[in-house]
Structure 1
Amino acid sequence: MATVTLSESRAVPIPVEEAFDRVLAHPLPSVFRRRRLAIPPIRDVRHQDGEWGSVGQTRTIVLADGGTMRETLTSNDRPHAFGYTISEVRGPMKPLVASADGRWTFEPAGTGTRITWTWVLTPTAAGRVAMPAFGAMWRGYARQALEEVEAILLGD
């Protein structure tokens, strides 16, 4: 099944190491707190053992629409990038998304850091038809999340 790659970036005036450490450990509901059209905010995170950061850790993401997803941390290359897999999608997104491989990267940009969030999405057969619309919604959702990340990092 073909994948779809979605990506958004934002530069912030924070050192790379600080940006990486704070984004990796930050609670998801405060980063993903806003709806973007059909993509809901994250309401809760369950079944996480300890601080997020060890490869192999898993947790359940609970969306505001009642859907859930299992997240598994697949890589941690501090301070450059961390990756994860989204699986076991339940709820309204299940007909569209089979799984996703996510990656956050942190690169020097001037006196700060360029943060990039990427999803390599495996759509369902039905989801393939909806991918242009879903992709546009996801990019807006990612822009909102990166705005939240910047506000968190800058202490706003």
Structure 2
Amino acid sequence: MTKSCVMSEARAIPVEPATAFHRTLVTPLPGLFRRRYGPIAPVTAVTGQVGEWGTVGQTRTVTQAGGGSMHEKLTLVDPPRVFGYTLSGITGPLAPLVDHIEGTWSFSPVGTGTEVVWRWEVYPKSSVAGVLMPVFARLWRGFARQSLEVLSDELVRT
């Protein structure tokens, strides 16, 4: 079995944890992940979601520019601390590298706001893909930093 690779990024945002939690959970993905970072494509659409995102067991399909897609399943909702999900059925450029991903967003009080931590545990598709995970992790952290910047702007705007 190929070892998973954990990657995470954090950002302090000047809003209350409950606000950060709820608004992050329901933020439309094409707005949050709208910018390309190197080979990591932006999200262009979300389909198959029924109702507001927030109930364990909900599923949806996330589509990226360039034709990649993945199946997302919400696996954990513990307001206002954490929510988690699994990405599977990955197609497109990530398909040869990634079997599935377990992701979490966590929210902790810090100073006058909230530390938001976005974490991915990536399970490579093969031992060869596992060797490439440090390079992918470096790229993902850049993508995550820019996405957390977008999230911060959205959360403090209103």
Could you state the TM-score of these two structures normalised by the residue count of structure 2? 0.97
Partner residue of 1:154 out of 143, 148, 156: 156
1:17 deviation in Å?
A: 0.4
What are the within-5 Å matches in structure 2 for residues 79-98 of structure 1?
A: 79-98=80-99
118-127 or 59-68: bigger deviation: 118-127
The whole-number CA distance in structure 2 between the counterparts of 1:38 and 1:45 is 20
Q: Supply the distance in 2 between the matched residues of 1:140 and 1:91 (Cα, whole angstroms).
A: 20
Root mean square deviation of aligned Cα: 0.9
2:116 paired with 1:115? yes
The number of aligned residues is 156
Large movers: runs of 4+ above 2 Å: none
Deviations 1:107-127 (A, max 9, x none): 000110000000000011132
Which residue in 1 is equivalent to 2:57? 56
| SS of the residue 1:83 aligns to | strand
How far apart, in 2, do the equivalents of 1:133 and 1:74 lie? 27
Distance 1:104 1:26 in 2: 13
In structure 2, C-alpha distance between the alignment counterparts of 1:12 and 1:6, rounded to whole Å: 20
Matches within 5 A, 1:25-104: 25-104=26-105
User: For 1:83 and 1:39, how far apart are their aligned partners in 2?
Assistant: 21
Could you tell me how far 1:129 is from its partner in structure 2? Answer: 2.2
| Structure 2: segments with no counterpart, 5+ residues | none
Deviation string 1:85-128 (CA, Å, 9 cap, x unpaired) is 00000111100110000000000001100000000000111321
Which residue does the alignment assign to 1:18?
Answer: 19
Identity of aligned residues (%): 47
Q: Which consecutive unaligned segments of at least 5 residues does structure 1 have?
A: none
